Amino acid sequence: MIRTRCASTGCFFVWTVLCAVLALLHASARADDYAETLVAQAREQRIAQSREWLRLGHYRRTLFGGLRSEADDPDFFNSPTGRTDPQAELDATLRAFFSDRPETDKQQNPQCLFVARYRWLKSRLQFDPARLPEQPCPRFERWRSELDPQSVTLVFPAAYINSPASMYGHTLLRLDGRAQSDRTRILDYALNFAAFTGNDGGLSFAYKGLAGGYIGRFSLTPYYLKIAEYSDIESRDIWEYRLALTPDEVLRLLEHAWELGSTRFDYYFLDENCSYQLLWLLDVARPSLDLVEQYPAWVIPADTIRSVVAVPGLVDDIRFRPSRSTQLLHFGQTMAPADVATARALADSRLAPDDPAFAQRPAAERARVLDLAFETLDFERLSGERRGDASAARLRELMLARAKVDGPEPPQPPVPAVRPDQGHGSARLGLGGGTTDGNGFQELRFRGAYHDLIDPAAGYSRGAQIEFGNLVARRENGEGLPFLEKATIVDVTSISARTPLSRSPSWRLNFGFERSRGPDTTRPLLFQIAGGAGLAFDLAPRLRWYGLGELGAYWSAHLDQRASLGAGGRTGVLFDWNDRWRVHAVAHGLRYIDGPAPSRSGAALAIDYSLMRDWSLRIEADTRREFGTRWSTVGLFAHHFF
């Protein structure tokens, strides 16, 4: 037996360190034991297959039946296989919660980084605080206390046809802080999901947007900046839908927004877009909603608003915020044409505010004209139509002149009778038939999105047409199988009437496949693209005329001259007889540089009658001359929107 005696300070220190190491190893072993206990409990309760856990991880079923998260950032997962394995991600997440990593400006403890997961799992598994101490999360708590939302509002800036990324509208969430009132809501913060597109445009923009070539992320922005962007600059009316979420649901939404942070998502214009990603937040806040599952193929912002409004009791207040353009046009409509012309002259610096003839007018009239002139010039400055110091100086002159005159404030436009969520569905199915030069046909139509010039107008912008994926199959003379008559990839048209207060151009872009008639009675399928710009004017309150100059091209493997370029134009009228009847008459023509015939031309008449919101009947008649062949068609079709 060997006896060791150690009385020195160094020996005592060694024994102290050894005891501390043994204690830490023992505590670590106990922590590992508890971590595995929690993992076993979670597996026993099948938490990895629960709706709540799948929502927190953004998991959806793939075409082959598996699960895959739509988050494309590895930092969103604790397991290397977490993106495709919810169970592995749950196990790794529970183990990560035992980390003692301190919080700094550059890192967070996993309990704080994944705060929504931690708090939900804590409530499900009843964590023992003695065995799994809760870590302080000062950064999250400070962020939450600064926002302090008492409710959440779903915001819908209406469609903006002049921006490809916003043709269908946009959605964002406003976090309604307790410190603000209805009068100061612009000081709240907006939670937004958007793609980072840089300076891309044209075909590059379209290709990347459709193929997922952009990165999308969530961001938090003062709401007044979003109002300035959408309402003031882009002339988009804003609809605000306050959601009836409970305090716990609001907190869960906020916690999940925190843990999403700067998580990267591949952005797709047709499905994984701004509206779709916001639905995830609502489903996390209230998993029973299942809003995401309603959109397996494509998502349009207006449709997501309809889905939210359709949930009983989910929306408890709806408010309308008119754009600067809507306010300006309404203001002009309340004034006599001569007063509008005077305001235009003041805005264009063709008339001085102190002009003697103008100064002799009654004070109330001068106030209204000066208000309209100021609003017109300021709107054109914000929208980019006017630039430079001259505009700023003129605005100052008008403001000073207005300050010297007593008069009422400009009138506010009324709330539209039909909201965007009350309009027809964005997809359309059609069935009908008719005759082409005595030969009968039957036709099946499907359009993925969204609205044409004479679809039921309630809830949509007059004069705007946006169609993607418009397919037409036809069967002639009751013989054979149906064949593809038309496949429009994109057809975007904006017929905006010019007024003294609005100088917007009208324009059109169309490309896709359409069957023609060749010189030898064949039916060649042409790929064609055409577009142009021009002007439109309202000839009467419900009658709008337009004229466009156009360039076009076609290609077909079934013609001797496979491709050619042409120029020409189209002119037409839109007549809204009443809320149910709408008429569109158009004549068009293109003259080609070369080809089997020098030109293609035609005229068409379409009359649409709304049976109800999602049903309409349409009569179509047209006559065409292409490649030396002339033919006429008449048909009747029933359209159902969904």
DSSP output for 455-474 = S--TTS-TTEEEEEEEEEEE
* pLDDT for the residue 27: 44
Distance in angstroms (rounded) separating the CA atoms of residues 489 and 494: 17
Distance in angstroms (rounded) separating the CA atoms of residues 505 and 519: 37
* pLDDT for the residue 595: 56
Structure tokens at 187: 């000081």
DSSP per-residue string spanning 57-87: TTEEE-TTS-EEES---GGG-SSTTTTT-HH
Average pLDDT score over residue span 172-177: 98
Distance in angstroms (rounded) separating the CA atoms of residues 362 and 407: 10
Distance in angstroms (rounded) separating the CA atoms of residues 450 and 36: 52
pLDDT band at 506 (very low <50, low <70, confident <90, very high): very high
Output the CA torsion 98→104→107→109 (10° steps): 20
pLDDT band at 274 (very low <50, low <70, confident <90, very high): confident
pLDDT band at 165 (very low <50, low <70, confident <90, very high): low
Lowest mean pLDDT among 51-55, 343-347, 377-381: 377-381
- Give, for 345, the enclosing helix (H) or strand (E): helix 337-347
- Exposed, middle or buried, 6 (CB in 10 Å: 0-12/13-18/19+)? exposed
* pLDDT for the residue 388: 76
Distance in angstroms (rounded) separating the CA atoms of residues 455 and 193: 30
Structure tokens at 516: 């023609």
Question: Up-side HSE of residue 264: CA atoms within 13 Å toward CB?
Answer: 10
pLDDT, one tens digit per residue, over 364-374 is 999 999 999 99
For 117, 136, 621, 640, the CA distances from 144, given in Å and listed in that order, are: 16, 14, 61, 46
Instruction: Output the CA angle 462-377-402, nearest 5 degrees.
Output: 120
pLDDT band at 384 (very low <50, low <70, confident <90, very high): confident
pLDDT at 555 over 70: yes
Percent of the chain clearing pLDDT 70 (strictly above): 93
pLDDT at 67 over 90: yes
- Exposed, middle or buried, 603 (CB in 10 Å: 0-12/13-18/19+)? middle
pLDDT at 566 over 60: yes
Lowest mean pLDDT among 196-205, 458-467, 545-554, 632-641: 196-205
Distance in angstroms (rounded) separating the CA atoms of residues 360 and 358: 5
- Give, for 637, the enclosing helix (H) or strand (E): strand 629-641
pLDDT at 141 over 60: yes
* pLDDT for the residue 17: 47
pLDDT at 1 over 80: no
Amino acid at 17: V
Question: Where in 556-614 does DSSP place strands (E)?
Answer: 563-576, 581-592, 599-612
pLDDT band at 351 (very low <50, low <70, confident <90, very high): very high
* pLDDT for the residue 276: 93
φ, ψ dihedrals at 583, nearest 5°: -130, 140
Average pLDDT score over residue span 396-414: 93
Average pLDDT of every residue of the chain: 90
Lowest mean pLDDT among 26-30, 33-37, 365-369, 562-566: 26-30
- Which residues make beta-bridge pairs with 636? 433, 619
pTM confidence score: 0.88
SS3 506: strand
Average pLDDT score over residue span 378-404: 89
Contacts 24+ apart (CB under 8 A), 27-30: 30/131
For residue 241, the tally of other CB atoms under 10 A from its CB is 22
Evaluated on CA atoms 489, 70, 116, 197, the torsion sign reads negative
Better-predicted residue by pLDDT, 597 or 82: 82
Average pLDDT score over residue span 24-46: 79
Distance in angstroms (rounded) separating the CA atoms of residues 3 and 25: 28
Instruction: Output the CA angle 562-586-573, nearest 5 degrees.
Output: 150
Cβ neighbors of 374 (< 8 A, separation 6 or more) are 347, 395, 398, 399, 402
How far apart, in Å, do the first and last CA atoms of the chain sit?
A: 91
Peptide bond into 295 cis (omega under 30): no
Among 110, 241, 225, 237, CA closest to 166: 237
* pLDDT for the residue 201: 65
pLDDT, one tens digit per residue, over 190-212 is 999 988 887 776 667 777 877 88
Structure tokens at 231: 């309402």
> Is residue 303 within 8 Å of 426, Cβ to Cβ?
yes
Better-predicted residue by pLDDT, 488 or 22: 488
Cβ neighbors of 625 (< 8 A, separation 6 or more) are 599, 600, 601, 602
For 14, 110, 484, 490, the CA distances from 622, given in Å and listed in that order, are: 99, 66, 19, 21
Average pLDDT score over residue span 444-471: 94
